[in-house]
Chains A and B, each alone.
Chain A
Amino acid sequence: MGIFEKIFRHHPPWGVHPDDHKLPAANAPLRSLPLPALLYVPMQQHVGSPARPVVLVGQHVLKGQLIAEAQGNVSAPVHAPTSGRISAIGEVTAPHPSGLAQLAITIAADGADTWCERLPVDDPFALAPEEIARRTAAAGVVGLGGATFPAAVKFNLGRRLKVNTLIVNGGECEPYLSSDDRIMRDRAAEVVDGLRIVMYAIGAREALVGIEDNKPQAIAAMRVAAAAFGNVQVRPVPARYPMGSDKQLIQTLTGKEVPADARAAEVGVLVHNVSTCAAVHRALRRGEPLVERIVTLNGGALTRPGNLLAPIGTPVVDLLRFAGVSGRPARLVLGGPMMGIVLPHARVPIVKGASGILAFDAAEAHVAEAGPCIRCGSCTRACPMGLLPLEMASRIGADDLAGAAGFGLSDCIGCGCCAYVCPSHIPLVQYFSYAKGELSARERSKLRNDATRRLAEERVARLEREAREKAAAAARRKAERDAAKAAAGAAARPLPVRIVKPASEAAT
């Protein structure tokens, strides 16, 4: 690596290169969090329908026991992160920017941390691929890179679409975060075994492990672990945000571009995160469901930043205490600084997708006042999707959402590069999130409108049917009466009969 290479180091034409702030947290050895007293396990920790509780308040559960089952096609079950008593099933603040509540199961830990019965598999490669997908689904494994898409659903998709290449995402391009880095350094063998199981499950012939070149130790560890397997290649990629985004990583490693509105599997690749692969390894080889994860604790307000192994459902406040908080953090962020969400307070539980908790000091949390757009075009150069953020934002600002959609709003991946480079500090990502949400709300209300119209039509049809039936019933009764009368008249002297209510009137 000469000076020449340093100056002319090739990097993609998109993206940004923020200060990574990964040290010293990334180099601190992995620590385990002491078991918290109370764990709040949310029912929605994944993309798709929320899980449905299958335990009752007061019930005693063991670590790894199923406490909520998956609902519907895209969903994931939830397991008890430790042994203890279910003390409540109710709403807690969701790890969500809105700060709204969502359903969670509260477990009072008994401190024993007793596992339920586990069913390890000695040789996963002897199982049918469908069985691996089934076990992965049953273990509640979801994408741990942040997307939290149920892993097994992707397995089945990959097998169906005959995916050739498995891409293992060790990019971890977000500044501050190092949980993937840590897992590759400390558990490289698990990651490699996991990714081989995934390859087998989807029928892929090769695996490419993409790791940003700012993690040399992780690259070295993974190379050693993968040395025995010829079809697993570790490929360093330039450190450039958002390299960890599926589409950008696929393009960098394979040169393929995922068409808009299509899935990666349709061009023959599938992306799984390194932590997901490790979780698959544990689910198969040890029979352990996903009940804990590595969380990066970082930020200027922490005295002992580093990576912690913590059970799912741990309140953020416990993690912060363990990592040592100096003063009052100015902002708490779940995830990385580029795409993470602000937590309203520290009593929010961590979820399967929580790769990091950042406690920012006042300087890091400083929000500069937004100024007018000077059309400098920095955002268009930074956008990894080739969009024109300034044009979209100006249209959204003028309430022209359709115009913004015409500029490719739906292709925005929300990576935050545009807002990062904006010299006027315009909250571009918020503009786009607002517009996307508003457009989908309109779409929902349109669907609702259609449903309403159907209901109204059904009601009209029902009223007509009821009227018809009434009329028919009246006519029938009249006919019966007439017949009865005729029969009676035949027996006795016929009486003059006056019809009281004509059938037509009864129908109104």
Chain B
Amino acid sequence: MIPTRHAGPVAAPHAASAGTVPRVMLWVSAALLPATLFGFWLYGWPAVHLWWVTTGSAILGEAFCLRLMQKPVAPVLRDGSALLTGWLLALSLPPWAPWWAGVIGGLFATVIGKQVFGGLGQNLFNPAMVARVMLLISFPVPMTLWTAPLPMLSANAPGFVDGLRITFGTLPATFDAMSSATLFGYARSELSRGVDLLQSLAATQAPTISLLGERAGSLGETSSLLIAAGGLLLLGLRIITWHIPFAMLATIALFASLMHGIDPARYLSVGIHLLSGAAMLGAFFIATDYVTSPNTAVGQLVFGAGVGFLTYVIRTWGGYPEGVAFAVLLMNALTPVIDRYTRPRIYGRDRRGAPLEIDP
């Protein structure tokens, strides 16, 4: 009746909840699936090819680093985090971006963004956003070439092979589609030409905004509805909490309504801010990354509000048309500071850590 021997003393508890890291990653991937499939449909085969090139590169980058450090490769890859990093990066790229953008981005995300810091859980910046920002700064032109929606089975849509040729650059980008612009980019360029928003948005060539997402934009960022559905799934499963998405979207909405109210000719409306660009994807999937965001409720509210505020500032006054990636990185950098100043109150102590007064 001697029980099995263990190497050392086994500490309590002798029970565990069902949650595991691969399970979390799996659910996040599942939540991304609707928006991704919609993106595939909307932008056709080149988007599919870009997706697998990017995620493949991210996974390869991770595997390469693990091999180099002589760590076991398979168990780490199985946690699904590299897949998710590549996936999120792919969703944030222009759908017809060339293959090398996906490769460079994917490798940069997992190698420089993550493995250099020691792998999962140790990185300080969101790997996907690090890669996104690096690509945007290094290759501003291809990273802001947008495709008008060209649904997969429609007449002009490129087929599988044409898609490959577009992604891998052998087919010159002669498709009319390539000349489209996002709403933010359009509004900005029109504003700089001296056309105010009231006129430019009323013009016939103005990009439209739609809840389902039939507009020009990044591969997986256009369908606010599907992204929000995925986000609600994660909320329901308690994989993420409401604090960051709520604080981020509420802050964007607050500033947008404030500024739009002051001068509708210069500032875009709340709806455009929330439904266009990367706000939804950022709020539910990127800013909520466990590793690089604070882990107390108050800290998460501060973090989300910060991302929202910086997003609005960069979108409205900054040099780039979209600011979510920068805002996320900047708030990632501030996370340790936020964590430090938003520690929860310990039972029996006040906020500063001194024991409570004895009050019989």
What is A's interface to B at a CB cutoff of 8 Å?
A: 16, 18-19, 97-99, 161-162, 175, 247, 251, 257-262, 266-268, 317, 320-321, 325, 328-333, 337-343, 345-346, 358-360, 364-365, 367-368, 371-378, 380, 384-388, 390-391, 407-408, 411, 414, 416, 419-425, 427, 429-430, 433
B21, B344, B345, B347 — which one has the most chain A CB atoms within 10 A of its CB?
B347
Nearest-neighbour CB distance to chain A for B214, whole angstroms, equals 35
Q: For the complex, what is the distance from the CA of A372 to the CA of B340, rounded to whole Å?
A: 21
| A266–B348 touching, CB < 8 Å | no
| A371–B3 touching, CB < 8 Å | no
| A330–B24 touching, CB < 8 Å | no
What is B's interface to A at a CB cutoff of 8 Å?
A: 1-4, 6, 9-17, 19-21, 23-24, 79, 81, 119-122, 290-291, 295-296, 339, 343-349, 353, 355-360
Evaluate whether A261 and B119 lie within 8 angstroms (CB atoms) in the complex, with A421-B17, A429-B12 already known.
Answer: no
Closest residue of chain B to A164 (Cβ to Cβ) is B360
Partner of B348, one of A388, A411, A416: A411
| B14–A331 touching, CB < 8 Å | yes
12 inter-chain pairs at a CB distance below 8 angstroms, sorted by A residue, are A97-B11, A259-B348, A260-B346, A337-B12, A337-B14, A338-B13, A340-B12, A371-B21, A380-B296, A388-B295, A411-B348, A419-B13
Q: For the complex, what is the distance from the CA of A408 to the CA of B350, rounded to whole Å?
A: 12
Nearest-neighbour CB distance to chain B for A507, whole angstroms, equals 56
Q: For the complex, what is the distance from the CA of A411 to the CA of B24, rounded to whole Å?
A: 30
| A332–B291 touching, CB < 8 Å | no
Partner of B14, one of A262, A364, A423: A364
**Chain B residues near A175 (CB-CB < 8 A):** 15
Closest residue of chain A to B348 (Cβ to Cβ) is A260
| A375–B14 touching, CB < 8 Å | no
Partner of A433, one of B6, B11, B290, B296: B11
Q: For the complex, what is the distance from the CA of A375 to the CA of B295, rounded to whole Å?
A: 7
| A430–B20 touching, CB < 8 Å | no
Nearest-neighbour CB distance to chain A for B103, whole angstroms, equals 26
Q: For the complex, what is the distance from the CA of A117 to the CA of B345, rounded to whole Å?
A: 54
| B290–A377 touching, CB < 8 Å | yes
| B347–A385 touching, CB < 8 Å | yes
| B347–A374 touching, CB < 8 Å | no
Nearest-neighbour CB distance to chain A for B2, whole angstroms, equals 5
Nearest-neighbour CB distance to chain A for B88, whole angstroms, equals 15
Q: For the complex, what is the distance from the CA of A247 to the CA of B348, rounded to whole Å?
A: 9
**Chain A residues near B356 (CB-CB < 8 A):** 257, 259-260, 262
Evaluate whether A360 and B14 lie within 8 angstroms (CB atoms) in the complex, with A331-B4, A345-B2 already known.
Answer: yes
Q: Is the interface of B mostly helix, strand, loop or mixed?
A: loop
| B9–A18 touching, CB < 8 Å | no
Q: For the complex, what is the distance from the CA of A99 to the CA of B353, rounded to whole Å?
A: 36
In the A-B complex, list the 10 residue pairs whose CB atoms are closest, starting with the nearest. A377-B295, A430-B11, A416-B13, A259-B356, A260-B348, A260-B355, A372-B121, A337-B14, A268-B360, A423-B19
Closest residue of chain A to B13 (Cβ to Cβ) is A416
Evaluate whether A261 and B355 lie within 8 angstroms (CB atoms) in the complex, with A372-B119, A380-B296 already known.
Answer: yes
Partner of B24, one of A376, A384, A429, A430: A376
Nearest-neighbour CB distance to chain B for A311, whole angstroms, equals 20
Q: For the complex, what is the distance from the CA of A390 to the CA of B344, rounded to whole Å?
A: 13
B2, B11, B19, B79 — which one has the most chain A CB atoms within 10 A of its CB?
B11
B13, B21, B79 — which one has the most chain A CB atoms within 10 A of its CB?
B13
B3, B21, B339 — which one has the most chain A CB atoms within 10 A of its CB?
B3
| B121–A373 touching, CB < 8 Å | yes
Q: For the complex, what is the distance from the CA of A420 to the CA of B346, rounded to whole Å?
A: 20
Q: For the complex, what is the distance from the CA of A450 to the CA of B343, rounded to whole Å?
A: 36
**Chain B residues near A414 (CB-CB < 8 A):** 12
**Chain B residues near A251 (CB-CB < 8 A):** 347
Nearest-neighbour CB distance to chain B for A480, whole angstroms, equals 67
**Chain B residues near A430 (CB-CB < 8 A):** 11
| B17–A385 touching, CB < 8 Å | no
**Beyond A260-B349, A342-B6, 15 additional pairs, beta carbon < 8 A:** A18-B17, A257-B347, A258-B348, A259-B349, A325-B1, A328-B1, A338-B12, A338-B13, A338-B14, A340-B14, A345-B2, A346-B2, A365-B4, A367-B10, A424-B21
Closest residue of chain A to B20 (Cβ to Cβ) is A423
Partner of A247, one of B10, B24, B347: B347
Q: For the complex, what is the distance from the CA of A24 to the CA of B101, rounded to whole Å?
A: 61
| B357–A259 touching, CB < 8 Å | yes
**Chain A residues near B359 (CB-CB < 8 A):** 267
**Chain A residues near B347 (CB-CB < 8 A):** 247, 251, 257, 260, 384-386, 411
Evaluate whether A345 and B3 lie within 8 angstroms (CB atoms) in the complex, with A377-B296, A378-B19, A384-B347 already known.
Answer: yes
**Chain B residues near A343 (CB-CB < 8 A):** 3
Q: For the complex, what is the distance from the CA of A266 to the CA of B356, rounded to whole Å?
A: 12
Nearest-neighbour CB distance to chain B for A246, whole angstroms, equals 11
| B345–A386 touching, CB < 8 Å | yes
| A420–B15 touching, CB < 8 Å | yes
Nearest-neighbour CB distance to chain A for B233, whole angstroms, equals 17
| A371–B13 touching, CB < 8 Å | no
Partner of B13, one of A247, A259, A321, A339: A339
| A423–B23 touching, CB < 8 Å | yes
| B12–A339 touching, CB < 8 Å | yes
| A425–B346 touching, CB < 8 Å | no
Closest residue of chain A to B10 (Cβ to Cβ) is A342
Nearest-neighbour CB distance to chain B for A71, whole angstroms, equals 28
Nearest-neighbour CB distance to chain A for B120, whole angstroms, equals 5
Q: For the complex, what is the distance from the CA of A175 to the CA of B15, rounded to whole Å?
A: 9
Closest residue of chain B to A382 (Cβ to Cβ) is B17
**Chain A residues near B21 (CB-CB < 8 A):** 371, 374, 423-424
Q: For the complex, what is the distance from the CA of A320 to the CA of B23, rounded to whole Å?
A: 37
**Chain B residues near A99 (CB-CB < 8 A):** 9
Nearest-neighbour CB distance to chain A for B136, whole angstroms, equals 26
| A421–B19 touching, CB < 8 Å | yes
Nearest-neighbour CB distance to chain B for A132, whole angstroms, equals 23
Q: For the complex, what is the distance from the CA of A423 to the CA of B18, rounded to whole Å?
A: 8
**Chain B residues near A260 (CB-CB < 8 A):** 346-349, 355-356
